[in-house]
């Protein structure tokens, strides 16, 4: 499968069967994230795989509320991934501060996407989740207070009849230009 | 080529031949970036392809100084990409502010990595560049003052004898855990 085909197939999966996910598949997804590039190779991330059913359900329940209920599908997905932002080395931080830039969130995004693309190659569906009760989940996973829980990802098998949606994106002439903004 | 093979082959290329880059290849890299996921599909990025040689050289000269000279290879690469951070829709910004999170930099990182992975598949070398004179480059590319120039990428062909380096990364047991931080 070519890369363009892979990224066309990857989509947010918000419905899951109860088929369990092989650990070997998960480890290959983690490996893909591990190999991701980062500013000065700082690798400012930690991936926590939540596959213990009781704990997974508890974490899932912290991704929605009565008001914000679009993440309820996390109760169906057999696995959740929590990604924490780790501090880059000092020199990197100084560089970023001098230039008023933060590379670490870009780096974390790349690693998360590596994970999701490898999952797609393994036949697994994923969804990145940005809405959750950070404090509660940090407590459940024993994440130190000073760490930032940056992103969650649900992982599992989409139902067989789950449709591949056509991607809606800005036209190429709008999101890209030649030699001038 | 499998995804793990592709990401193993992708590396920062800091030496380029003068072989020009086909526009079709560049457009497929842009297409890969265009299809990248983003929070609420906000697509907070614009890719500017700099392939006009005189302009490219001027931009390249703003990626290094007497003090910071590790980006001089940008003078060799026939193409540079400038990526600006575009404002996500209002609802997305409110959500991010409520949760004190910024998804747009993660999104931009994913799109940049999509570009670089498609380039690798096209046989092109890339390097992400975080050090540059933002003000000067924005002027050269007529980027509006209020926009953020978030990242540059060099694009071109690595010399034939350019070696694939073994990736140095934290061990998998250090960058990932099961069910607990």
Q: Enumerate the residues of chain A whose CB falls inside 8 A of the CB of residue B130.
A: 39, 95-96, 99, 101, 103
Contact B4 A108 (CB under 8 A): no
Nearest to A106 among B47, B52, B151 (CB): B151
Query: Given the DSSP bridges, would you call strands A176-178 and B45-50 parallel, antiparallel or unpaired?
Result: parallel
pLDDT confidence of B67, banded at 50, 70, 90? confident
Least confident of A145-149, B23-27, B135-139: A145-149
Q: Hey, are the CB atoms on B106 and A105 less than 8 Å from each other?
A: yes
Which chain B residues have a beta carbon less than 8 Å from that of A101?
A: 130, 150
Q: Could A118 and B3 be called an inter-chain contact, meaning their C-beta atoms sit closer than 8 Å?
A: yes
pLDDT range class, residue B90, cuts 50, 70, 90: confident
Is A1 in contact with B119 (CB distance < 8 Å)? Answer: no
* Rounded Cα distance, B102 and B92, in Å: 10
Greater confidence (B96 vs B179) lies with: B179
Residue B98: band (very low, low, confident or very high) from pLDDT cuts 50, 70, 90: low
Class of domain B3-175: alpha beta
The secondary structure element, H or E, covering residue B3 is helix B3-9
HSE of A75 in the Cβ direction (CA atoms, 13 Å)?
A: 8
- Residue A99: what pLDDT? 60
Across the range A20-46, mean pLDDT stands at 97
Structure tokens at B47: 């890719």
Q: Could you give the maximum distance between any two Cα atoms of chain A, in Å?
A: 54
Residue A80: enclosing H or E segment and its boundaries?
A: strand A79-85
- Tell me: pLDDT of A39 over 90: yes
Where along chain B do its domains lie?
A: 3-175
How many interchain CB pairs under 8 A, A with B? 210
| Ordered DSSP codes for A6-50 | HHHH--B-----SPPPPHHHHHHHHHHHHT---GGG---EEEEEE
Fold of A17-160: NADH Oxidase (3.40.109)
| A85-94, A99-108, B35-44, B108-117: segment of lowest average pLDDT | A85-94
> What pairs with residue A176 in β-bridges?
B47
Q: How far apart are CA B121 and CA A77, in angstroms?
A: 32
Which of B1, B110, B181 is closest, CB to CB, to A109? B110
Mind listing the pLDDT tens digit for each residue in A48-103?
999 999 999 999 999 999 888 899 999 999 999 999 999 876 766 666 666 656 79
User: How many C-beta neighbours within 10 Å does residue B123 have?
Assistant: 10
The residue with tokens 């400012």 is A44
């Amino acid at each position: 499968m070519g890369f363009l085909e892979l990224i066309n197939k990857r989509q947010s999966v918000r419905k899951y069967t109860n088929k369990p996910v092989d650990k070997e598949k998960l480890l290959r997804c983690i490996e893909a994230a591990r190999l991701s590039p980062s500013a000065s190779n700082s690798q400012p991330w930690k991936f926590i795989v939540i596959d213990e059913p009781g704990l997974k359900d508890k974490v899932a329940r912290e991704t929605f509320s009565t008001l914000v209920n679009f993440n309820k599908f996390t109760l169906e997905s057999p696995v959740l991934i929590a990604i924490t932002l780790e501090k880059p080395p000092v020199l990197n931080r100084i560089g970023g501060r001098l230039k008023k830039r933060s590379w670490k969130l870009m780096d974390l995004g790349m690693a998360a996407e590596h994970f999701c693309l490898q999952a797609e190659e393994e036949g697994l569906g994923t969804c990145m989740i940005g809405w959750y009760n950070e404090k509660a989940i940090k407590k459940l996973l024993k994440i130190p207070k000073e760490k930032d829980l940056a992103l969650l990802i649900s992982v599992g098998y989409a139902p067989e009849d789950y449709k591949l949606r056509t991607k809606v994106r800005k036209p190429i002439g709008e999101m890209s230009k030649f030699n001038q903004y």
